[in-house]
């Protein structure tokens, strides 16, 4: 097994920009959901079955459309035939897992599917920037996208359930990681781009009583209008300050306890269908909530969010405070980590103020993984330097001031245990998992009906698929 194959297991999001990622993901999903028929330039239908795994089939149109999407993104590294064989092998693997899920009677409820679909939609909308931009990228409405996603998400969840069961006990020891690294051929150790390790101290500007009272009056007026018959969803579109839900009439999608702010959940789960809550205060602002439906442990609600605005006086006070903290650090009167614990308002203070990369779970970022506003600031710093205070607007619409600390900047280099242990550990883990999966595939294909049609039965697959 080579490193290129191991790296292919790394989530695609890490190696793609926002636009391409969204386009590829949804185009990939639509291949399955839309049952698109591939055609020649003469409009002659060329669809048909290219493989059968148990009771599941793989259509030529599925394969061709996946290949076209990879080609459109510039991801073709070999001949078309070689690439199609690689895609087909991955599809065989997925269908084998799906077949096992059906044998094991893996149950994925409609509620679980809806909840996962809503979670993904929130993620994709956030990546795109707005629901409208996502619809423009995909050239379909949000409702149509969700309709197409439903079946494929259920299938994916069944497959993931089986795969997790097979590899759930896999772990690597430090000695295994070191042994894995030493066995890598020197000329195949991949290069690692420059990475940044960044700390921050955050000050939340205080919101005064006057600003809070102003917002309470506004949301009280909205509640009174709704009580008199105004439509809740229309009010959400017109007035809610939650960018993720306002365009959808405030609808949040199915969620369970633990997904939202505690105060929000406490009010939402008490509601009956169509009932509207009293005003609810959370750290995001003030909410009105309307129950749409309840399904077991999950609910779907609409909400209207109004946020108190920070005054210029409070913003300036936060900036002045951070200026003083930066001076203390520059003059070496206190270390950065000491100032984090004493002054920062952000939860990151619990890990020394270090920013955590959501893609990897560690504190290292490549430049394209950083928010451009953050990169613009830290790229000008020398290691050990502190930035001037920077005004930052969070994805929840709140304003805060930050100072950034460049703890480390690595130069491009070949991966090594000293700088890249977490990355190498992940490679070692993936190799170990792949060995377990290879053994599982060999065992299951000997007991499962697998048939691959011409011309693909001649593919040079990495695994023995027991073609018949």
Listed residues 259, 287, 306: the one ending a domain: 306
* 380 C-beta neighbours (distance < 10 Å), count: 10
Separation between Cα atoms, residue 11 and residue 375, nearest integer Å = 22
Q: What is the pLDDT of residue 340?
A: 95
In a domain, 420, yes or no: yes
Task: For residues 218 and 121, state if they share a domain.
Answer: no
Is position 464 within any domain? no
Domain membership of residue 466 (yes or no) is no
Q: What is the largest CA-CA distance in the chain?
A: 77
pLDDT tens figures, 145-176: 888 888 889 999 999 999 999 998 899 999 99
Question: CA 122 from chain center: how many Å?
Answer: 9
The answer to whether residues 243 and 365 belong to one domain is no
Q: Residue 302 belongs to what H/E stretch? A: strand 298-306
Q: What's the pLDDT tens digit per position in 69-91?
A: 777 766 666 788 889 999 999 99
The per-residue pLDDT for 3 is 38
Q: Facing residues of 280 across strands?
A: 287
Section 227-234 average pLDDT: 95
Tell me whether residue 66 is exposed, middle or buried, using C-beta atoms within 10 angstroms of its C-beta: 0 to 12, 13 to 18, 19 or more. buried
Please state the domain count of the chain. 3
List Cβ neighbours of 144 (8 Å cut-off, separation of 6 or more).
none
Q: What is the pLDDT of residue 33?
A: 37
Name every residue whose Cβ is closer than 8 Å to that of residue 106 and which is 6 or more positions away in sequence: 158, 161, 162
140 and 90 in a common domain: yes
Q: Which of 433, 394, 403 minimizes the C-alpha distance to 165?
A: 433
Give the Cα-Cα-Cα angle 419, 353, 285 (nearest 5 degrees). 135
Within a domain: 463: no
Whose CA is closest to 65, among 29, 30, 31, 19? 31
Q: Encoding tokens for residue 368?
A: 């394209």
pLDDT at 76: 63
Quote the CA–CA distance of 392 and 286 in Å, as a whole number: 21
Q: 373 and 452 share a domain?
A: no
Q: Are residues 108 and 249 in the same domain?
A: no
In a domain, 42, yes or no: yes
Are both 245 and 344 inside the same structural domain? no
Per residue in 381-424, pLDDT (tens digit) is 999 999 999 999 887 778 899 999 999 999 999 999 998 898 89
| Phi, psi of 279, deg, nearest 5 | -65, 130
pLDDT by residue (tens digit) across 239-279?
999 887 888 899 998 888 888 999 999 999 999 999 999 99
- Where is the domain boundary, 306, 323, 339? 306
Nearest CA-CA partner of 171 in 436, 431, 434, 429: 429
**What is the overall mean pLDDT for the chain?**
84
* Coil, strand or helix at 300: strand
The three-state secondary structure class of 316 is helix
Among 191, 174, 164, residue whose Cα is nearest residue 428: 174
Co-location of 67 and 134 in the same domain = yes
- The whole-number pLDDT of residue 216 equals 95
Encode pLDDT of 323-374 as tens digits.
999 999 999 999 999 999 999 999 899 889 999 998 888 899 999 899 889 9
Alpha-carbon dihedral 221, 223, 227, 228, rounded to 10 degrees: 30
Q: Are residues 170 and 200 in the same domain?
A: no
Quote the pLDDT of residue 222: 96
Domain identity same for 168 and 218: no
Supply the angle between the helices 110-128 and 131-138 in degrees, to the nearest 10: 100
Residue 123 pLDDT: 77
- CATH code of 226's domain: 3.10.50.40
Between CA 126 and CA 105 the distance in angstroms is 35
What average pLDDT does this structure show over 423-449? 90
Crossing angle of the two packed helices 131-138 and 142-167, in degrees rounded to 10: 90
Closest-CA residue to 36 (of 67, 14, 11, 2): 67
180 confidence band (pLDDT: 50, 70, 90): very high
Q: Where is mean pLDDT largest: 5-14, 112-121, 329-338, 357-366?
A: 329-338
- Percentage of the chain surpassing pLDDT 70? 88
Give the residue numbers spanning the domain of 448: 3-189+416-458
330 and 298 within one domain: no
> Same domain for 32 and 153?
yes
Q: Which three-class secondary structure state does DSSP give residue 366?
A: strand
Distance set, CA 420 to CA 170, 177, 180, 408, 425 (Å): 21, 11, 13, 13, 9
* pLDDT of 34: 38
pLDDT score at 24: 39
Last residue of a domain, one of 274, 289, 306: 306
The region of weakest confidence among 2-6, 108-112, 305-309 is 2-6
The CA distance from 362 to 208, in Å, is 36
| pTM greater than 0.75 | no
In a domain, 468, yes or no: no
* Cross-strand bridge partners of residue 367: none
Indicate which CATH number applies to the domain containing 88.
Answer: 1.10.4030.10
Q: How far apart are CA 378 and CA 402, in angstroms?
A: 12
| pLDDT at residue 15 is higher than 70 | no
Distance between CA atoms of residues 103 and 159, nearest Å: 12
pLDDT on residue 80: 86
234 confidence band (pLDDT: 50, 70, 90): very high
pLDDT tens digit sequence for 35-62: 333 333 334 445 689 999 998 999 998 8
323 and 437 co-located in one domain = no
Q: Which of 57, 77, 56 is nearest to 67 (CA)?
A: 77
* 134 inside domain: yes
In a domain, 467, yes or no: no
């Amino acid at each position: 097994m080579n490193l290129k194959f191991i790296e292919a297991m790394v989530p695609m999001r890490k190696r793609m920009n926002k636009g391409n990622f969204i386009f590829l993901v949804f185009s990939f999903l639509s291949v399955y959901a839309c049952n698109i028929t591939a055609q020649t330039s003469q409009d002659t239908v060329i669809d048909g079955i290219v493989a059968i795994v148990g009771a599941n089939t793989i259509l030529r149109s599925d394969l061709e459309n996946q290949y076209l999407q990879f080609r459109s993104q510039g991801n073709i590294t070999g001949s078309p035939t070689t690439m199609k064989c690689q895609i087909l092998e991955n599809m065989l693997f997925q269908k084998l897992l799906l077949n096992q899920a059906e044998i094991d009677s893996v149950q994925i409820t409609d509620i679980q599917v809806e909840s996962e679909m809503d979670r993904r939609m929130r993620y994709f909308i956030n990546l795109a920037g707005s629901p409208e931009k996502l619809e423009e990228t995909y050239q379909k409405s949000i409702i149509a996208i969700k309709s197409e996603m439903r079946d494929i998400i259920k299938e994916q969840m069944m497959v993931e359930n089986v795969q997790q069961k097979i590899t759930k006990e896999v772990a690597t020891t430090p000695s295994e990681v070191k042994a894995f690294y030493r066995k890598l051929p020197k000329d195949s150790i991949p290069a690692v781009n420059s990475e940044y390790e960044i700390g921050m101290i955050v000050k939340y500007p205080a919101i005064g009583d006057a600003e809070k009272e102003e917002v309470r009056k506004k949301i009280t007026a909205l509640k009174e209008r709704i009580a008199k018959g105004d439509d809740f969803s229309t009010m959400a579109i017109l007035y809610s300050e939650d960018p993720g839900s306002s365009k959808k009439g405030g609808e949040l999608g199915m969620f369970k306890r633990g997904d939202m702010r505690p105060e929000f959940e406490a009010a939402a789960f008490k509601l009956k269908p169509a009932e509207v809550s009293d005003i609810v205060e959370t750290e995001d602002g003030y909410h009105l909530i309307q129950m749409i439906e309840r399904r077991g442990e999950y609910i779907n609600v609409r909400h209207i969010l109004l946020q108190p605005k920070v005054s210029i006086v409070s913003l300036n006070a936060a900036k002045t405070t951070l200026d003083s903290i930066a001076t203390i650090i520059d003059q070496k009167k206190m270390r950065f980590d000491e100032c984090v614990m004493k002054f920062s308002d952000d939860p990151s203070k619990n890990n020394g103020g270090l920013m955590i990369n959501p893609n990897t779970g560690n504190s290292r970022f490549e430049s394209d993984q950083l928010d451009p506003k953050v990169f613009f600031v830290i790229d000008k710093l020398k290691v050990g330097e502190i930035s001037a205070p920077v005004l930052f607007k969070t994805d929840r619409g709140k304003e805060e001031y930050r100072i950034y600390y460049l703890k480390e900047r690595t130069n491009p280099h070949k991966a090594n245990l000293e700088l890249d242990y977490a990355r190498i550990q992940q490679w070692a883990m993936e190799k170990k998992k792949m060995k377990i999966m290879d053994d599982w595939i060999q065992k299951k294909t000997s007991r499962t009906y697998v048939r691959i049609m011409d011309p693909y039965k001649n593919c040079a697959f990495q695994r023995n698929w027991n073609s018949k």
